[in-house]
Structure 1
Amino acid sequence: MSSYHLVEGDRFPPWQPKGRKYRQWMEDFENGDCKIRQSSLRLRDLDQTNWTICIIPKSLPLRETLLTRRVGGLPTEGNTGNQRPFYKKVSIRSNQEDTDDPALEWYGPQEDFVVVRAQDEPYISEISKAVYENSFSLDTLKYVFVTRLIDEDTKNCLNYYISSDREDLVYHSYEYTELQFDALLGTKIGKTVAYLLLGAFGQGVKRVRRIAVISEVGQDWDLRFDIEDVPQGDEFI
């Protein structure tokens, strides 16, 4: 049985109906279909006999610096006058004997950096929440950057639908009202971000408002997810 439901007007199956489902879970605290519960995981909860955690000062890499400049207002060493690293790197690895499995990497808006193995528990969305909350209040989360995409499911969606719609695509953002937004949210990367918000805040509190796609010539895909409060009552859009 499929976990998503096609409706008339769906242009981007299977991703669009999946993304619509995740969007509805984030927006509606009464949606009983959502089984994602708030996560209480903290970094200190990770058993250090099974995990290696390293936190060090780290300057924002050039690629991520360029991405933050597109947003504006995010601090970097260059615009703060601080010669020391303004950010820090958080590395997390599972202490498994098999080291041949590919690692996943992603950056949060304050340069929190996580490396975990795809098959490990807890989930990546839970670890993302724990890493961010270790240094910042969850309420300050405004952006999630995903750089150098390696996930084939997300790349397939981008290659089949998004880039074919915009042959000149270098940077373009999609609002939550657009069909492409639901398609991107329905990818594995979009699902991870949706689960991050659901696990951190629960339903009806935070949602993804906008998804930006960046594709420089000859470079990998980058994504930016803009986060906002879920409007309440008459303010809901």
Structure 2
Amino acid sequence: MRVTLLLVFVCARLEYITLLQEPCFSFRLPPQPHATMAFKYPQFEPYGDKLIRWMEKATEPGCPIPKTTLNALTLPQPADWHIEHEREWLTPDRIASIVGLGLPVGELIPHDLYPTESPCVRHSIIKSRIGITALVGTVGPGVLFVYSIRRYHGSNDPYVSELAKIAYETHYPLDTVRYIFMNDVLEPATEPFIEEQIYPSREGLKYRSAEPQTWDSPAPEFSAIMGTPIGKVVGSFILGAFGQGVKRVARIVTFQSGLDLHKLDIRFDIEDV
């Protein structure tokens, strides 16, 4: 019962909190008057630029994110963690979001005539003692949907990027991951930044748009999204899972879903360097 109530609390609504922190970044760069002038989005673009170079170059110096070996069996204070996973079919919205991406969509849709077990798994990793650290998402072949993460600033718990790695590799080999979706983004730095600065960078583009928007490297918008707290989680996932110079984020796609397009979703496409 305690686990069920905790899941209800965490999953009632996706809530990326501003206190979430991944390794190697603070939320604001120290003053760098000569460097920041070159950036179109000085709040986040410098972070993203570093993260991109660390992912793409095995020899790029200064990366403090080591390749992690943490798994479900080596979580610190294992008695404090509640890990649950169960098979589930993807919702119609999630199915629609992966059409055309080269994933085995036919296997992810239930068939009444040929009933099979879903290859997708809802996976939750939650620690509720001395502050909540949590990740809740759905894992499928080649794809990870994340719709609830939480970690307090200053916590000694594993980073949520490490929890994402644990969730995916529990069910599929890490090197098969191709897409990470951060669904219903409410994180108070990322969502307003995309609404107020990224979308207005394209003439005539309204923030609540039915059309997915693709952001490619080396555009400053791509780097800036990578440098947000949400982009930072994905970059840290890649570096922690594979190390430098192995995998990178190739493109970012933002789109709105739900009633009146009120939900912001962000897709990160992952490929070999």
Pair 1:202 & 2:235 matched: no
Counterpart in the other structure of 1:86: 119
Secondary structure of the residue that 1:221 maps to in structure 2?
strand
What is the distance in 2 between the residues matched to 1:116 and 1:156? 18
What is the distance in 1 between the residues matched to 2:101 and 2:186? 23
The answer (yes or no) to whether the contact 2:213–2:253 under 8 Å persists in 1 is yes
Counterpart in the other structure of 2:109: 77
Match of 2:82 among 6, 27, 52: 52
Deviations 1:106-156 (A, max 9, x none): 445545668553125100001111111112111111111110002111112
The aligned amino acid for 1:206 is K
What is the distance in 2 between the residues matched to 1:48 and 1:133? 18
**Structure-2 change in CA distance of 1:3 and 1:184 (3 Å):** farther
The answer (yes or no) to whether the contact 2:127–2:134 under 8 Å persists in 1 is no
The aligned amino acid for 1:191 is K
> How many angstroms does 1:201 deviate by?
0.7
Secondary structure of the residue that 2:263 maps to in structure 1?
coil
Deviations 1:55-112 (A, max 9, x none): 11111123222211252434322589645433111112113276xx696644455456
Counterpart in the other structure of 1:180: 221
**Structure-2 change in CA distance of 1:18 and 1:144 (3 Å):** same
Deviations 1:150-189 (A, max 9, x none): 2111112201212223424431111112111001101001
Secondary structure of the residue that 1:32 maps to in structure 2?
coil
Pair 1:26 & 2:69 matched: no
What is the distance in 1 between the residues matched to 2:240 and 2:63? 11
TM-score w.r.t. structure 1 length?
Answer: 0.84
**Structure-2 change in CA distance of 1:15 and 1:77 (3 Å):** same
**Structure-2 change in CA distance of 1:129 and 1:104 (3 Å):** closer
**Structure-2 change in CA distance of 1:116 and 1:185 (3 Å):** closer
What is the distance in 2 between the residues matched to 1:29 and 1:223? 26
**Structure-2 change in CA distance of 1:112 and 1:161 (3 Å):** closer
Counterpart in the other structure of 1:138: 174
Counterpart in the other structure of 1:150: 186
Counterpart in the other structure of 2:12: none
What is the distance in 2 between the residues matched to 1:154 and 1:201? 25
The aligned amino acid for 1:77 is I
Counterpart in the other structure of 1:235: none
Give the CA RMSD over aligned residues.
2.6
TM-score w.r.t. structure 2 length?
Answer: 0.74
Secondary structure of the residue that 1:45 maps to in structure 2?
coil
The aligned amino acid for 1:117 is R
**Structure-2 change in CA distance of 1:79 and 1:188 (3 Å):** farther
**Structure-2 change in CA distance of 1:94 and 1:137 (3 Å):** same
> How many angstroms does 1:206 deviate by?
0.7
Pair 1:228 & 2:260 matched: no
Secondary structure of the residue that 1:152 maps to in structure 2?
coil
The answer (yes or no) to whether the contact 1:181–1:211 under 8 Å persists in 2 is yes
Pair 1:2 & 2:30 matched: yes
Secondary structure of the residue that 1:204 maps to in structure 2?
coil
The answer (yes or no) to whether the contact 1:214–1:223 under 8 Å persists in 2 is yes
Match of 1:66 among 74, 90, 96: 96
What is the distance in 2 between the residues matched to 1:66 and 1:116? 23
Deviations 1:180-213 (A, max 9, x none): 1001101001011000000011111111000000
The answer (yes or no) to whether the contact 1:15–1:184 under 8 Å persists in 2 is yes
> How many angstroms does 1:48 deviate by?
3.6
Counterpart in the other structure of 1:233: none
The aligned amino acid for 2:238 is L
The aligned amino acid for 1:222 is D
Secondary structure of the residue that 1:49 maps to in structure 2?
helix
